[in-house]
Structure 1
Amino acid sequence: MPRPIARVLTLLELLQSGGIRTTAGLAERLGVDERTVRRYIDHLLDLDVPVESVRGRHGGYRLAPGYRMPPLMLTDDEALAVLLGLLAARRAGLTTAMGTASETAAAKIRRVLPKRLAGRLDSMSDSLTFTARPGEAVPSDSTVLLSITDAVRHRRPIAIRYTAADGRHSERTVHPYGVVAHAGKWYLTAADLTADDDRTFRLDRITAIRTLPGSFEPPAGLDPAKRVLTALATAPYRYEVTLRVQGNAEEIDARLPAGVAVVRELSSDPGDANLESERWCLVDLRVERLDWLPAVLASLDMPFLIERPDELRVLVVELAEHLARSARRASTGGG
């Protein structure tokens, strides 16, 4: 924090301690001259802090009676960044203990901002819209989240009580590698010592946590986000889809929904003599429904082969025929 700002905050704390503070006394406490003290007072007045000047032999400065909460010392850009972060988190469904947490936090910030800045941010909030639909938040206990992230940072093993999707309860001892936010949910990727395997846990299904003594070393090159997305993409679902797509693995992965597909480069072409011998990738997906995949495959704009299931091949052909019929249909409108 720049020294002048730090001194202004110190001045505010001195005034909040109560009573009348002389200019000379404030200058001595802050290590500046009296002229600088008056400049700092003007800065507080610009921030709508009710500093009163008391004249007379024992005069000086004091805060207006009843004033308790200091203003939030944020620039316009800083306040905008905080508010946009809260709005985006709420929109993405990334809330913790209570779904209204971001709303109450934004309201508290607004209350302690100067009136000029608060009014401008209100205008921004009222005018801002999003093109994407709001995320469906799955609330997680903030105590669990904070305890786990602390264990991740300090590499401490933890014991958790976990409820699986099928309702089964279990006690697990894990080495927590990282916490990942994805699609409105919080996930923990960890080494599950109880099962002797790496696992992914949803934080909203962790009902208790206890930090254990000792420490651990995470694997080299650890990427918690990649681990969670891979775990989600390989979880058991109704349909197992296998494709071969001609193109670069990074480009293919970027065009598919995160957490749905596992893309691996092949060392050779798929063996079809009718296709060019270029780089091909194997794509595995686990999905509950197939009806949305044909449009996604069409949007790839890359040659592909469907290895399984046959139902997907039928849906792709039906989409192609529907598009062809629509393109050939003559317009009946006027003009």
Structure 2
Amino acid sequence: MAERRDTGGTSTDRLAFLLALVPYLIDQVSVTVDEAAEHFGTSPERIRRAVELIAVSGVPDASGSVLPGSGMFDIDWDQFEEQSIIRFRQAPLTEQPRLSGREAAALIAGVQTIMALPDFAERDDLWALREKLARGTTSGVAPVAVAPADSGETLTEVRRAQAAGRRLALDYVSADGVREERLVDPVRLDSVDGVWYLRAWCLTREAERTFRVDRIATVRSVGTADEHPASTADPASLFSGSDGGGVRVEIELDEAALPLVADYLPDDIRPVDGSAALVRATVELSHLAKVGRLASRLGAAGRVVTPAAADEARHWAERAIAAQHRRLDF
């Protein structure tokens, strides 16, 4: 009976194998046939046949032709046949635009931001991508990085509860310093500008609410959570009012300054009569104490129009100036 050859499965399987083998060989630079076979869990014979096929393949030029010495893979045949070592003298896939240090740094920063999200924190492929980006530059990576925020034990506990479907009792401190216990069923975690937010069904309010994780003083599991539909709220809406009894604040600003308050703005932005540049908008805040944050975004480019909110913004600025003077005096 003739010995059965390792054909590698269907044509789709063989194509997938080749697509994985080529970047592996390029990345390894030099690797033995046996090492490659062990890496892919296949036979040395199959690796040899694949390398021989790769050697007659290449990237077509503008006319659609693959010519020897130009767009083809060039194997070091002496090493391959005499020492069973696979090494490309030329691999057209490596002849691609390389990243500058700044470009690589920007991409690495983006990857690290993604890795900070709960669903991506342990992804090995993202770690590998970050290392490849660092290696694939023309002049080394520029000194730019994203420093991950210290999420602490509270975020870890919230993640576990969300994954296990557990209800939580939160000892929560609001922005205006009010401290109370909330019973919540976690729905979703979001990170906005390095700050973690828990979107949850609040049994205390009988509605979906958003909680800043860094304002949760203590957290404990108190049973099994009920099922709730996944939140469809845009993370940008985390800045809008959410606790009921919110306040509506009218602001006026230069139209060119709208990006400064993009997190707060509704869709109804109105031009100011008699002005070609000014616009007005009504934003909703969860409580009046948050108007200081809004005013700090506006700066000199706009003003708070609503009288009570304008008074609060002025008091907020006075408190901030006084605190700065105290630090300077010290």
Shorter-chain TM band: 0.3 to 0.5
TM-score (norm 1): 0.47
TM-score (norm 2): 0.48
